[in-house]
Chain A
Amino acid sequence: MTPLAAWVDGIGVLGPGMADWPAAARVLTGEAPWQRAPTQLPVPQSLPSTERRRTGIPVRLTLAVGLEATARAGADPGTFATVFTSSGGDGQNCHEICQALATTERQLSPTRFHNSVHNAAAGYWGIATGATAASNALCAYDASFAAGLLEALIQLAVERTAVLLIAYDASYPEPLRGVRPIPDAFGVALVLAPARGAASLAHVTAAWSDAPADDMADAALEALRGSVPAARSLPLLAQLARRAPGRVAIEYLDGPRLALEVSPCR
């Protein structure tokens, strides 16, 4: 494979006990202890009020991390091609639909239905930011983060344009939670650019690797990594937070891992 490479120009994170990228970075470098608390989702001010009240957790989560990453990159969020990746999309909405369909009336609300598509978060992102470039919505079960990163790096390599990657997952309510136990919402956004810019934080190069996937030294963070597909990104985020050169292997499918050579800019 031709090496796939990008400059990381901005990062956004939101998860349990991680209010934003600086807070996550402090936890990931061990500078601050991880104080686990439910993910706090902001109300998306960027959406018109009619749309705002219709939004579920994934929309709030992806808007928060996407806007954080693009703001840190000093870029207009509406200018990026996007790759959204998630294992399960909006689990609460899916539950409500299945519940309604199990009744004799089978009454669905139109909003529930159009919010049920896996690319709902991508659709609302476009409405909120005016982004008209290509937008992908991917799923690879537990490998969703690596699959999204791979798609974003390929797109960047071929089209030579910046790509905003947004990986996210949220919990299902019961009874689906019992068969797919994702404990809390977690989202990460990376602004990936083809050339070094003023905001560039690090350079990453991807290749296949037979090395085992990196895990987190901290047992609680390792549990988070293992239980939320989007949190499979944590070893990469930790490497970026350390601002030191290094190589991390990210969990993918049952074949090789996706390894990333990280070189910080400053």
Chain B
Amino acid sequence: MSPLALTAFTATSAIGRGLAATHDTLRAQRTGLAPCGFETVALDTCVGEVPGVDAQALPASLREFECRNNRLAWLALAQDGFAEAVQQSAARHGSHRIGIFLGTSTSGILETELAYRERDPASGALPQGFRYRGAHNTFSLGAFTRRALGLTGPAVVTSSACSSSAKAFASAQRAIEADVIDAALVGGVDSLCLTTLYGFHSLQLVSRTPCRPFDVARDGLSIGEAAAFALLERPAASLAADAVLLLGTGESSDAYHMSSPPPDGRGARAAMLLALASAALSAQDIDYINFHGTGTANNDAAEGRAVAGVLGSEIPGSSTKGATGHTLGAAGALEAVICALALKHALMPAGVNTTQVDPDLPVRYLRENRRGPLQRVMSNSFGFGGSNCSLIFGRAG
């Protein structure tokens, strides 16, 4: 593929609103995970909640999109001058030439969960004012973002569970390469809801403690929420040395099981190899890997094997989910932004919470931040249904 520039990017998660706060938390090796006090949830677990999401309502013109997921999107779009950067891009290219490619797994389902508690006892109807299109529907996030930023080009939401927003980068890249658009607003937004908290609990995949990816005693994931966005454009003729580029994308399917990967990680392996091929790079060119690393026994084992098989066992890597929690459909975009920060600041972020790396996982897992120039990094995202996506990012100089 032809490289694309991330001309603007931002992220809001439990480790911070915007890039500066996110970078500070990564530098300080802190976690954003804390005991779950979300809504009426009575589970003994930790979550990565973004404070203040519901504190500010959406503007009146966007009220039909009110839900926690879109409020989180709105909060994040306002950070780092991101919305302004998109509008400047729209002024350059035309608003119809900017595509929207966003990922979410649960969109505004929380609104429906709450509405089901208030069904009419006689008719069973949902409460008056319940909005399916603006809140519940998977495309709500795409329609909201399009309206909020006044864009008129193509828009779609990818919803392939935990690979959603990584795959949004791949779809966006192709649309630019096909000249359907000149720029793409890509990203992912997923917010806390009961479906995922109780659902992962039913699968016995949730840890009681803040998750410890790749730890010998890892015992499950911690759920988080996040909104992360990037603006993808064809690179200018001359770029600053610290400009970040999308260099490669790779997608595959496990064709194995709905909620667990094949133990040999062959689907993950295929996605990574395809990403390398798409970037015309070899394994030696990758300096750091941001693991999918959810903290469940099987996922980390399969990924560890796959990564060692493709990139070798000396590749430094970490999962930042110990800090942010697993932000599900937003994880691909959030970790893309973390990779962009890593490249800009020459920082390989530690996998926090992990105290003893599983000796059976053949990887060089970073338990402490490491400084050092980074040229190219890979980020993995894998989801239910066996949906895999690997992305490669690099510095311009």
Contacts and interface: CB of A to CB of B under 8 A. Distances in A.
A109 B204 CA distance: 11
- Determine which residue in A88, A131, A138 has the highest number of CB atoms from chain B within 10 A of its CB, and name it: A138
A133 B253 contact: yes
Interface string A114-153: 1111111011101101111111111111011001001100
B251 to A, nearest CB: 4
Interface string B148-192: 000011111111110000010011001101111000000000000
Given A138-B159, A151-B156, A255-B153, A119 B178 contact: no
Nearest to B133: A141
Contacts of B137: 87-88, 139, 141, 180
A198 interface: no
A123 to B, nearest CB: 3
Contacts of A254: 152
Contacts of B198: 101, 106, 108, 113
A43 B259 CA distance: 22
A174 B124 contact: yes
Interface string B4-48: 000000000000000000000000000000000000000000000
Given A106-B194, A116-B199, A141-B137, A134 B117 contact: no
B119 interface: yes
Given A117-B160, A179-B132, A127 B255 contact: yes
Interface residues on B, range: 35 or more
Contacts of A110: 199, 202-203, 259
A140 B139 contact: yes
B171 A136 contact: yes
19 contacts: A87-B138, A87-B139, A88-B137, A98-B116, A107-B202, A110-B199, A113-B195, A118-B105, A123-B384, A123-B387, A127-B257, A127-B258, A127-B386, A135-B160, A139-B139, A147-B154, A150-B180, A158-B174, A255-B96
Given A106-B198, A112-B199, A127-B386, 10 more contacts: A1-B180, A98-B116, A101-B195, A106-B194, A114-B199, A116-B195, A118-B161, A122-B253, A124-B258, A147-B155
Interface of A: 1-2, 4, 78, 87-89, 94, 97-99, 101-102, 106-110, 112-120, 122-124, 126-127, 129-141, 143-144, 147, 150-151, 154-155, 157-159, 174-176, 178-180, 253-255
- Which 7 residue pairs are nearest across A and B when measured between Cβ atoms? A123-B385, A113-B199, A118-B159, A134-B251, A126-B255, A139-B138, A102-B116
Interface of B: 96, 105, 109, 112-113, 115-117, 119, 124-126, 130, 132-133, 136-139, 142-143, 146, 152-161, 167, 170-171, 174-175, 177-180, 194-195, 198-203, 251-259, 267, 270, 383-387
